[in-house]
């Protein structure tokens, strides 16, 4: 099947899962204020890998004894909540996660998952790794790499309306190369940047969950078991109580009912 691009691109329905939320322009589609709870941090998110890395950090900070709490509100991207006017004010890019930090004199917004993680980790001087240079390098590596795994491989392998060999090959190759980058690094390092840090949390959320068989049903196809150092590291992180809690926050989908906590307002919510 060949495609000849027209002179000027036009928006024609291309199908596939999530096609209903894709549009070629930014900005709000409707007026809707965001809810605000009683805690200093108001997180607006969903338990996708980009959301989970942030809720894992929030839960790790609380587990480590940092004295704060947060409200996590569900943004249902399948229903277009990310295009509500209130959400767009917090994130002009209309993507989860987004944070309002109301702990200071003026509320401030932070968007982009890694920016939120850095903001929280620096504020609490925690989970910054042994080397800031290495930690930032791996954190930025995750932000630059995961779109090839999610938007590239995941999209064409799991969500596109048909299976097309060319993009699946191209992005499977890149996903495996990325797993090999991690596997080689983790061969002689326990963590990404010396000690457990936000770089581990961010990378785990994507690549850890991939090798644990939780993303795109692609574990066998990508032979993830062969990246043994990544699997060991992913299992170590997965066993942490804060990580289990972080995975639950803003989860409204999936078969495992015990993992679902669409909204979180206090630690007690996990005991339900």
Ligand X SMILES: N[C@@H](CCC(=O)N[C@@H](CS)C(=O)NCC(=O)O)C(=O)O
Q: Give the one residue of 21, 62, 126, 212 binding ligand X; rule: CB under 6 A.
A: 21
Ramachandran angles phi, psi of 45, nearest 5°? -160, -175
The answer to whether 48 contacts ligand X (rule: CB under 6 A) is: yes
Least Å from the CB of residue 56 to ligand X: 14
Instruction: Between 25 and 255, name the residue whose CB sits nearer to ligand X.
Output: 25
Q: Is 42 helix (H, G, I), strand (E, B) or coil?
A: strand
15: left (phi over 0), alpha (psi -120 to 50) or beta: left
Neighbours of 120 (CB within 10 A): 25
Instruction: Between 34 and 231, name the residue whose CB sits nearer to ligand X.
Output: 34
Instruction: Between 149 and 193, name the residue whose CB sits nearer to ligand X.
Output: 149
Instruction: Between 69 and 112, name the residue whose CB sits nearer to ligand X.
Output: 112
The answer to whether 88 contacts ligand X (rule: CB under 6 A) is: no
The answer to whether 209 contacts ligand X (rule: CB under 6 A) is: no
Tell me the C-alpha distance between 117 and 79, whole Å: 26
Instruction: Between 21 and 160, name the residue whose CB sits nearer to ligand X.
Output: 21
Tell me the two tokens of residue 219.
């574990």
Q: Give the one residue of 63, 69, 112, 263 binding ligand X; rule: CB under 6 A.
A: 112
Instruction: Between 112 and 238, name the residue whose CB sits nearer to ligand X.
Output: 112
Tell me the two tokens of residue 175.
């996903």
Least Å from the CB of residue 185 to ligand X: 21
Is the distance from CB of 265 to CB of 37 less than 8 angstroms?
Answer: yes
The answer to whether 50 contacts ligand X (rule: CB under 6 A) is: yes
- Which one of the spans 91-99, 120-128, 158-166, 203-211 is the region binding ligand X (CB under 6 A)? 91-99
Tell me the C-alpha distance between 134 and 129, whole Å: 8
The answer to whether 47 contacts ligand X (rule: CB under 6 A) is: no
Residues 92-111 touching ligand X, rule: CB under 6 A, are: 94-97
Q: Give the one residue of 55, 113, 205, 229 binding ligand X; rule: CB under 6 A.
A: 113
Residues 52-81 touching ligand X, rule: CB under 6 A, are: 77
Tell me the C-alpha distance between 96 and 171, whole Å: 23
Is the distance from CB of 28 to CB of 88 less than 8 angstroms?
Answer: yes
Instruction: Between 148 and 195, name the residue whose CB sits nearer to ligand X.
Output: 148
Is the distance from CB of 237 to CB of 251 less than 8 angstroms?
Answer: no
- DSSP E strands in the chain: the ranges are 41-45, 70-74, 98-101, 108-111
Q: Is 240 helix (H, G, I), strand (E, B) or coil?
A: coil
Note the residues at the interface with ligand X (CB under 6 A).
Answer: 21, 48, 50, 77, 82, 94-97, 112-113
């Amino acid at each position: 099947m060949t495609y000849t691009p027209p002179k000027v691109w036009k928006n024609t329905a291309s199908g596939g899962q999530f096609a209903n939320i894709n549009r070629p322009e930014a900005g709000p589609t409707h007026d809707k204020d965001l809810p605000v709870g009683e805690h200093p941090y108001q997180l607006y998110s969903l338990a996708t890998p980009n959301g989970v890395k942030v809720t894992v950090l929030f839960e790790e900070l609380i587990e480590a004894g940092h004295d704060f709490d947060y409200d996590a509100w569900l943004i249902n991207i399948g229903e277009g909540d990310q295009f509500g006017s209130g959400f767009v004010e917090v994130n002009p890019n209309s993507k989860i996660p987004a944070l309002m930090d109301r702990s200071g004199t003026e509320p401030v917004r932070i968007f982009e998952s890694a920016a939120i993680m850095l903001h929280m980790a620096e504020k609490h001087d925690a989970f910054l790794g042994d080397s800031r240079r290495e930690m930032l390098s791996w954190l930025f590596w995750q932000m630059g790499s995961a779109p090839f795994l999610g938007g590239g491989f995941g999209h064409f392998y799991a969500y596109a309306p048909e299976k097309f060999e060319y993009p699946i090959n191209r992005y499977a190759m890149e996903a495996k190369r990325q797993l090999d980058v991690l596997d080689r690094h983790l061969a002689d390092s326990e963590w990404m940047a010396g000690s457990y840090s936000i770089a581990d949390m961010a990378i785990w959320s994507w690549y850890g969950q991939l090798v644990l068989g939780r993303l795109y049903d692609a574990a066998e196809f990508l032979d993830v078991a062969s990246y043994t150092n990544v699997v060991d590291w992913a299992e170590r992180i997965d066993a942490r109580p804060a990580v289990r809690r972080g995975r639950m926050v803003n989860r409204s989908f999936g078969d495992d009912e015990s993992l679902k906590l669409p909204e979180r307002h206090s630690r007690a919510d996990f005991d339900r």
